[in-house]
């Protein structure tokens, strides 16, 4: 009975654009918190490389998602312009199966948010302990 309900529910296979901007914001937060470890010597060079890796790790999937979105829009003649609230209420279908949009958003954002928040705490401890 529940499988029939799930098959009739609206399903999304793409992430909404606001979720991409949240990912970018968390990545920028992570880069800023990493630079809290800057000091003398080669740390600036190392932190530049770390910032570049974070930028590539976030930027490359976003570029590919934009290409896929444009390709999908030209193939069907319509652009998917649903809001974040609409997407969170739908089901999301990826290669591992269906799950609620809110659960998918949490699974996507939680690792990056945890690392950004944790790195901020480490940078604050480093700033107040090492520099004091």
Compute the half-sphere exposure of residue 38: CA atoms within 13 Å on the CB side of its CA.
13
pLDDT score, position 43: 87
pLDDT score, position 10: 76
Average pLDDT over residues 96-107: 92
Average pLDDT over residues 76-90: 74
Domain-embedded: residue 6 = no
Q: Which residue has the higher pLDDT, 95 or 32?
A: 32
Domain-embedded: residue 10 = no
Q: Is 74 exposed, middle or buried (0-12, 13-18, 19+ CB in 10 A)?
A: exposed
Cα–Cα separations (whole angstroms), residue 114 to 1, 29, 109: 38, 11, 9
CA–CA dist 16, 69 (Å, integer): 10
Domain-embedded: residue 84 = yes
CA–CA dist 100, 53 (Å, integer): 31
Domain-embedded: residue 12 = no
CA–CA dist 102, 88 (Å, integer): 5
Given a cut of 60, is residue 100 above it in pLDDT?
yes
For residue 73, give its domain range: 17-130
Domain-embedded: residue 11 = no
Domain-embedded: residue 97 = yes
CA–CA dist 87, 89 (Å, integer): 5
pLDDT in tens, 107-131: 999 999 999 999 999 999 988 887 6
CA–CA dist 29, 23 (Å, integer): 10
User: Token pair 């609620």 is at which residue?
Assistant: 100
pLDDT in tens, 5-63: 455 667 888 888 899 999 999 999 999 999 988 888 888 899 999 999 999 999 999 89
Domain-embedded: residue 7 = no
Number of domains in the chain: 1
pLDDT in tens, 61-81: 989 988 888 887 676 545 456
Is-above-0.85 flag for pTM?
Answer: no
Domain-embedded: residue 24 = yes
């Amino acid at each position: 009975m529940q499988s029939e309900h799930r098959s009739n529910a609206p399903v999304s296979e793409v992430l909404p654009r606001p979720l991409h901007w949240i990912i970018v914001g968390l990545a920028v937060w992570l880069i800023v918190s990493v630079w809290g470890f800057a000091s003398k010597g080669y740390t600036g060079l190392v932190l530049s490389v770390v910032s570049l890796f974070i930028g590539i790790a976030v930027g490359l999937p976003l570029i590919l998602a934009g290409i896929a979105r444009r390709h999908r829009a030209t193939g069907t003649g319509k652009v998917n312009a649903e809001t974040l609230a609409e997407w969170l209420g739908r089901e999301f279908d990826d290669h591992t199966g269906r799950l609620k949009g809110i659960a998918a958003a949490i699974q996507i954002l939680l690792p990056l948010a945890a690392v950004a928040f944790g790195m901020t705490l480490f940078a604050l401890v480093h700033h107040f302990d090492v520099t004091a």
